[in-house]
Structure 1
Amino acid sequence: MKIGILGAGISGLSIGKMLSKQHDVELLERHSIHGGIARTKTVEGVAYHPVGGHCFNSKYPDVMDFVFNEILPKDSWHQVQRNAVIKLRGEEVSYPIEYAIQQIHEFAPELAIDITRDFLSAEDDKVYENLEDWFRKKFGNTLAENYFIPYNSKIWNRPPSEMSPAWVDGKLPIPNKESFFKGLISNESDKMPHASFYYPDTNNQNTFIDKLAEGLTILTDFTVNTIEKKAKKWLINGEKEFDLVISTLPLNILPHLIKDTPHEVLNAADKLRYNKVTTMFWETEETERTWTYIPESYNFFHRYIHIGSFFKPKKNYSMSEVVGEKTREEMIENGKKDSFLKRPIDYNVSEHAYVVFDENYDSATTTVKKYLQDIGLHTLGRFGEWQYYNMDVCIKSSLDLAQKINLA
């Protein structure tokens, strides 16, 4: 088949790599370079991620095999141990916070006791009205009110009481009462895949991304304006013809490009919400941390990504993030609150960065996805599936779809 892939980010490149073994594949990318939001930018000789911090590990064996055996060999990566902390009441405690109760007890004993009492007595009936309700039933009121609710209010730019908990599976370490108790009396920690992760030996994620793109036919600077199915063929902008189309374009935009999309589908697409993210790249003091999470309201940054700690050897560079759009001047001024941030180097405001799981999420995504399925247009990736996917899950979704297409 002749297959058109709309978008050459991680998802488009991954499925393009798999399908090009058996099919004639062309990727159409609106930017001048492939890679999407995972691509790095080099400033002063250092590569950083303008949108998020993209590292690699996975619980999926087929993803690990694909990356290490077909794209970039394992000996071209180094492994980094996660060393993440949370700023709480002027102190740093280890992440995840539910395993840091011993540390909290050292500077706030009453808080530690309240967290423990509430966690061990929390009743989880598996029925959740919203994300705030999910936090309270999983972790108890004290931990919810001191960390999960304020932090998630910052990273989603809306109260958790107005959000769905649909995104949390696989994204948060969730201890049960037994593992929480072990954390009180031992060094118990979470077993999430990204407790350690891999980063290219070049200290630049583009090394992996460029290897992923190697050998693929990618047409850059191509903006998709119209999509139409005519005589069992897909036409893109009336000029590109394909037997099959796979879109990684944002789900809120895609239906508006397809000819004769029903109004109810367009209305559903318009209800989908997403957040931009503003990032500033800094030279910093020395740190062994990989991430720092900031739930407290005095600082509008919600986290630091210590990209220099991903490097080998380590360097003193970090990114600060805030959800929404801030000016360069606002970012610099806010950075003055923390002497750890020494010198601002670069600044970026994203377009799509994170999908929002609000009260319209379930019905809107169901309506749009059903329509796309009915017309035979495949959709893929963080924005194509409107999911909070890490890079490895984007690759997994791509591998699964490629296998489905090859077996059809």
Structure 2
Amino acid sequence: MRTQYLIIGAGPTGLGAARRLSELGIRDFLVLEAKDHPGGLAASHRDAKGFTWDVGGHVVFSHYEYFDRMLEDVLGEEYLEHRREAWVRIAKRWVPYPFQNNIRHLPPEMAWDCVRGLLPHVRPALQNDHPAHFREWIEHVFGPGLARHFMLPYNFKVWATPPEDMDYKWIGERVSVIDLEKTLENLVLAKDDVNWGPNSSFRFPLTGGTGEIYRRVAARLGDHIRYGRGVVRVDAHAKTVHCDTGETYAYEKLLTTGPLDILARDRLTDAPDAVREAASGLAHSGGWIGGVGVEGPKTDSRCWMYFPESDNPFYRVTNFHHYSPNNTPDPDGMTVRHRAYMTEVSFSEHKPEPASHLDSVVDGLVNVSLMAESERDAVVSTWEMRLDYSYPVPTLGRDAALRTVQPWLEGHGIFSRGRFGGWKYEVSNMDHSVMQGVEWAERMALGKPETTYAL
């Protein structure tokens, strides 16, 4: 079969591209999806006990008018709005997020260690004009105290990668930097500073989890999406894609949203050695998502929590019952009689997986006081999903690798976008990912330049 525009993957990027092509009046396109459902890493699943779980801790906020309009179109008024309430668990107490702005909640000795590290004669100077890596950036910007107590252990828990192997240029709005004067003001005047960041308020679908957004987008595309088509080979010169069903699809332009390293290293039949080698150098973490449903009403108003310490395996826990009452199996949909803890654990060659995820997660929930010891018997449901690809890691060699791989692909009519297609964590939120697809479609159909994804 031949089509003008072929899209691999019905996640946010692929669906964003397909939706925009359809809006532009283009009908000659197809989306191939390996699974039997849309959404990719933004999908949601309902377990046998009636709990809904997302594939990770997603919240809906936006940098783009188009994305906002899309949400309004597909959700209507069927969503809830929340003010972010995020916390850090450290030293057996809760500290409001961002941690570095709220150290007044720490034990006095730890708070002083953090403040002292910010003093000009203590804060490490840069060895050159720019940090050599993420670790040097952390220690220079935050000082040794904040680095030791939070920034270094937490970031290793998230990335499963030594920070000295990572670049720092991706940071942008992802990390709240420190202001010594503001830190001292908050400390002395006992003030909290909790409004930093673009996700200080967010929306969430009333039913179906985050994946409901993409189920509704996909439903409008009808038979332009073909499920159960896993891509096994791409011939860049013949411009054909071969699926595990035995089908072959010919295309004029190809958008692929799966992992770039797998595409260039394993799927392309005719990529040069330099492209394969560059793609093989791209690094990523894996992830394990564990849902724990507990009988008993919610006991706090927190949205999500960060965990830098080693008395638990997870780096983040989401109070998923707080996002929507329909995420739990409560019959009236409003009086929440269950809690739904969604936990996230990373792994890599640098950070092995726990031997028993569910046991270690329940132990961790007890250790950090989210569950009482007596509530172990109140666990009524568990759900888990293992992700080989969770986060694309912005390593020191990432940008050079992308500058080798992406131009070669585009020279052959192949465009790789999305969280793992583009391999840029700094533009891989849901809104970024959708817009990478939208902007690709506009580039193909209208000749407009892409702005979200750039080398």
TM-score (norm 2): 0.82
Quick check: 2:96–2:192 contact (8 Å CA) kept in 1?
no
Q: Which moved more, 1:81-90 or 1:275-284?
A: 275-284
Gapped regions of structure 2 (runs ≥ 5): 326-333, 448-455
- Cα separation, partners in 2 of 1:293 and 1:40, compared to 1, 3 Å: same
Deviations 1:279-308 (A, max 9, x none): 221124633211121111232222212111
Partner of residue 18, structure 1: 20
- Cα separation, partners in 2 of 1:63 and 1:334, compared to 1, 3 Å: closer
Q: Which moved more, 1:206-215 or 1:113-122?
A: 113-122
Partner of residue 111, structure 1: 110
Partner of residue 353, structure 1: 390
Partner of residue 321, structure 1: 344
Q: Which moved more, 1:331-340 or 1:128-137?
A: 331-340
Partner of residue 292, structure 1: 305
Q: From 237, 242, 255, give the equivalent of 2:251.
A: 242
Quick check: 2:102–2:193 contact (8 Å CA) kept in 1?
no
CA distance in 2, matches of 1:97, 1:112: 11
Q: From 153, 160, 168, give the equivalent of 1:157.
A: 160
Matched residue type, 1:212: V
CA distance in 2, matches of 1:328, 1:198: 36
How far 1:114 moved relative to its partner?
2.8
Q: Which moved more, 1:238-247 or 1:329-338?
A: 329-338
How far 1:203 moved relative to its partner?
5.0
**CA RMSD of superposed structures (Å):** 2.3
Alignment of 1:8-407 (within 5 A): 8-21=10-23, 22-23=25-26, 24-43=28-47, 44-49=49-54, 51-68=55-72, 70-73=73-76, 75-104=77-106, 108-119=107-118, 121=120, 122=123, 127-177=130-180, 179-184=182-187, 185=189, 186-202=191-207, 204-216=209-221, 217-230=224-237, 234-237=239-242, 239-255=248-264, 256-284=266-294, 286=298, 287-312=300-325, 313=334, 315-324=338-347, 326=353, 329-339=356-366, 340-341=370-371, 342=376, 343=379, 345-388=382-425, 389-407=428-446
Deviations 1:66-100 (A, max 9, x none): 322x3322x22111121111111111111110121
CA distance in 2, matches of 1:264, 1:303: 38
Query: How many matched pairs?
Result: 400
- Cα separation, partners in 2 of 1:189 and 1:320, compared to 1, 3 Å: closer
Matched residue type, 1:5: I
How far 1:181 moved relative to its partner?
4.7
CA distance in 1, matches of 2:63, 2:241: 36
Q: Identity of aligned pairs, percent? A: 25
Quick check: 2:314–2:343 contact (8 Å CA) kept in 1?
yes
Matched residue type, 1:149: L
Q: Which moved more, 1:141-150 or 1:290-299?
A: 290-299
CA distance in 2, matches of 1:95, 1:187: 9
Quick check: 1:15–1:402 contact (8 Å CA) kept in 2?
yes
CA distance in 1, matches of 2:248, 2:193: 58
Matched residue type, 1:306: N
How far 1:208 moved relative to its partner?
1.1
How far 1:331 moved relative to its partner?
2.8
Matched residue type, 2:115: T
Matched residue type, 2:30: E
CA distance in 1, matches of 2:411, 2:281: 20
CA distance in 1, matches of 2:435, 2:137: 27
- Cα separation, partners in 2 of 1:243 and 1:203, compared to 1, 3 Å: closer
CA distance in 2, matches of 1:395, 1:120: 42
CA distance in 2, matches of 1:331, 1:120: 43
How far 1:323 moved relative to its partner?
0.8
Deviations 1:122-162 (A, max 9, x none): 47866111111111122222111110101111112222122
How far 1:334 moved relative to its partner?
4.6
TM-score (norm 1): 0.91
